[in-house]
């Protein structure tokens, strides 16, 4: 049984997806403001490590937990609509890369498991 990480294409695919994803996010007026003054190279590296781990690949994620890492964004008004926009942008990115819908649904399900922590509710 392959992990989602393997099904998506491993490290090269996750790296490419994250790079394309952040270009989409920064162009998305619904959420781009949350990335003002963010070192996007560092952000992308953290996201690549997190998604690799979350999708069943090697665990090299050493950043803050989701609640702590996003608390400053929640204080700036981050809410469910913004979380939904991120998931939508991630799905659209994967779709543009030819990822099958069933794998995009798996990715969305993994993302959904972080909603309550990201939004500071647990």
**11-63: pLDDT as tens digits:** 999 999 999 999 999 999 999 999 999 999 999 999 999 999 999 999 999 98
Q: What average pLDDT does this structure show over 73-98?
A: 98
Q: What is the mean pLDDT of the chain?
A: 96
**pLDDT reading at 1 higher than 80:** no
| Distance between CA atoms of residues 7 and 9, nearest Å | 5
| Distance between CA atoms of residues 110 and 40, nearest Å | 23
Question: What pLDDT does residue 64 have?
Answer: 87
* pTM of the entire predicted model: 0.94
For the chain, first and last CA: distance in Å?
A: 32
| Distance between CA atoms of residues 78 and 72, nearest Å | 9
Per residue in 97-106, pLDDT tens?
999 999 999 9
Per residue in 33-47, pLDDT tens?
999 999 999 999 999
């Amino acid at each position: 049984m392959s992990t989602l990480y393997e099904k998506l294409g491993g490290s090269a695919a996750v790296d490419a997806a994250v790079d394309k994803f952040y270009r989409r996010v920064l162009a998305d007026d619904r959420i781009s403001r949350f990335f003002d003054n963010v070192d996007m190279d560092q952000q992308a590296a953290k996201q690549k490590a997190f998604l690799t781990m979350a999708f069943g690949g090697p665990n090299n994620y050493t950043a803050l937990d989701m609640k702590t890492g996003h608390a400053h964004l929640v204080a700036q008004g981050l809410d469910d609509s913004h979380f939904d926009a991120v998931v939508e942008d991630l799905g659209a990115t994967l779709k543009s890369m030819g990822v099958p819908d069933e794998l995009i649904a798996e990715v969305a399900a993994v993302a959904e498991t972080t909603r309550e922590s990201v939004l500071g509710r647990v």
